[in-house]
Amino acid sequence: MRAVGERTSYAPGTFCWVDLATTDPAGAVAFYGGLFGWEGDEMPAGPESTYTMLRIAGRYVAALYQGPEGSPPAWLSYVSVDDADAVADRAALLGGLVVQGPADVMDAGRMAVVADPTGAMVALWQPGRHIGATLVNDPGALCLNQLNTSDIAAAQRFHGDLFGWTFKAVGTEAQPYWGIDNGGDLNGGMTPLPPGTNQTSHWLAYFTAPDLDGAIGTVAASGGGVLVPPTPVPSGRFAVATDPQGAAFALFEGRVDP
């Protein structure tokens, strides 16, 4: 039976994948497996390294790997593109930074990593054999990518020119928020960083949690942390958590797209 959130392709400019660079792959697999029911498939990724694909009922939802020594654990969001080289070049012309130049990932696809003018990093994914996640929005799967930025205007200008995204204000004066639209479809969100924060601009990955309170209880019992407790929004409730290694992610309970 086909899952509601099953995907076989992504339009260019659509978020398609997330992966986690962590200091403890085995510990992260155990944590997220207990939280979301993910199962890990270890795949070779070069000499003495592996890339663990994470799946639900045989459908891939994310991945994780041993991050570079000294780098803090973090999730990275990927946007599907037709031509990673051309989009990376355009990012540089628009004032962004090419953090990792375009390179083939065996026959899976071609990727690059760019940072917008405020420092938020995102990966570009030109699909080959691997399209990205084959399941989204369903329980335990990716449902939103949100940019927390120090400069809304600069971020909208850069990403709009780079991907063709448009932005719609859907928040309030007290809680400003913008929906990100890609070709007529909701593709993500954007919000300003809190005043006085020491955070840098970053993308935050959201995963669907049908029972948010239960999920937060599992996070706490499994050695994770809670940065933002369950909080109501017009379409449901969300929370922001950290895994035991310190990587931040969000959980969402409520209405999601098919």
**Complete domains list, the chain, with CATH:** 15-127 (3.10.180.10), 142-254 (3.10.180.10)
What pLDDT score was predicted for residue 92?
98
Containing 87, the helix (H) or strand (E) segment is: helix 84-93
Mean of pLDDT over the chain: 95
What pLDDT score was predicted for residue 206?
98
Write out the two tokens for 8: 């076989």
Q: In this predicted model, what pLDDT tens digit does every residue of 30-88 receive, in sequence order? A: 999 999 999 999 988 777 789 999 999 999 999 999 999 999 999 999 999 999 999 99
Average pLDDT over residues 134-143: 97
Q: In this predicted model, what pLDDT tens digit does every residue of 183-229 receive, in sequence order? A: 988 999 999 998 888 889 999 999 999 999 999 999 999 999 999 99
What pLDDT score was predicted for residue 2?
52
**Residue 52 and residue 55: Cα distance in Å, rounded?**
10
Cα 247 → chain centroid: 12
Average pLDDT over residues 135-152: 97
pTM: 0.96
pLDDT at 107 over 60: yes
The answer to whether the CB of 52 falls within 8 A of the CB of 64 is: yes
Q: How confident is the model at residue 147 (pLDDT cuts 50, 70, 90)?
A: very high
The answer to whether the CB of 79 falls within 8 A of the CB of 124 is: yes
What percent of the chain clears pLDDT 70, i.e. is strictly above it? 99
Average pLDDT over residues 147-156: 97
Q: In this predicted model, what pLDDT tens digit does every residue of 20-29 receive, in sequence order? A: 999 999 999 9
Question: Which among 242, 243, 240, 173 is positioned nearest to 251, based on CA atoms?
Answer: 240
Residue with tokens 């697999």: 29
What pLDDT score was predicted for residue 4?
75
What pLDDT score was predicted for residue 3?
64
**Residue 231 and residue 196: Cα distance in Å, rounded?**
21
What pLDDT score was predicted for residue 1?
45
